[in-house]
């Protein structure tokens, strides 16, 4: 008996900004996947105080400003380990550092987040 998955696995990641990874397409080059569209609909502005408990649990992933937050969530959700590993090793995506969390608590910047269980991907917007 086949198990139905809510989203088909995708190998394409849609990104904007100054991303140097060769295997990443921009949204101008292709249509966003249904997973991307779903995650986009679940992405929202959030206050730091609402994220603190996830930080305490070690579940926050900080996403660099020059990556598309939803593309990162899509890559994680679709198990695109090659791209996620590149982002992690280059520091574009990382577990939220204590210094960053303290800075967010002090400044209360504009943050956007999307959940890809068990992770919460967070990005500061300016």
User: Sorting pLDDT into bands at 50, 70 and 90, what band is 30?
Assistant: low
Confidence at residue 90, expressed as pLDDT on a 0 to 100 scale: 97
Question: Of all residues in the chain, what percent carry a pLDDT higher than 70?
Answer: 76
- Contacting residues for 42 by C-beta, under 8 A, at least 6 apart: 114, 115
User: Sorting pLDDT into bands at 50, 70 and 90, what band is 126?
Assistant: confident
pLDDT greater than 90 at residue 23: no
Averaged pLDDT for residues 66-91: 97
Q: Where are the domains of the chain?
A: 42-125
Averaged pLDDT for residues 38-54: 97
Confidence at residue 122, expressed as pLDDT on a 0 to 100 scale: 98
């Amino acid at each position: 008996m086949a198990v139905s998955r809510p989203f088909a696995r995708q190998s394409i990641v849609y990104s904007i900004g100054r991303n140097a990874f060769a295997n990443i397409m921009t949204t101008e080059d292709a249509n966003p996947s249904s997973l991307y569209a779903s995650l986009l609909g679940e992405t929202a502005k959030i206050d730091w105080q609402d994220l603190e408990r996830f930080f305490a649990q070690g579940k926050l992933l900080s996403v660099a400003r020059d990556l598309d937050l939803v593309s990162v969530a899509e890559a994680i959700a679709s198990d695109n380990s090659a791209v996620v590993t590149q982002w992690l090793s280059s520091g574009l995506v990382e577990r939220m550092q204590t210094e960053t969390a303290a800075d967010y608590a002090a400044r209360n910047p504009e943050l956007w987040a999307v959940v890809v269980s068990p992770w919460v991907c967070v990005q500061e917007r300016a």
